[in-house]
Amino acid sequence: MRCRQVIDKISEYIDGELDPELARELERHLAHCEDCRIVVDTANKTVEIFNHTEPAALPDDVRERLNGMFVRRFRKDGPN
Distance CA 75, CA 55 (A): 33
For 26, the enclosing helix (H) or strand (E) is helix 20-32
Let me know the angle formed at the C-alpha of 50 by 28 and 67, rounded to the nearest 5 degrees: 50
Distance CA 4, CA 13 (A): 14
For residue 38, the minimal CB distance to Zn ion (Å) is: 9
Nearer to Zn ion, 50 or 74 (CB): 74
For residue 55, the minimal CB distance to Zn ion (Å) is: 28
Distance CA 16, CA 11 (A): 8
For residue 28, the minimal CB distance to Zn ion (Å) is: 11
Residues that bind Zn ion (CB under 5 A): 3, 33, 36
Nearer to Zn ion, 54 or 77 (CB): 77
Nearer to Zn ion, 65 or 73 (CB): 73
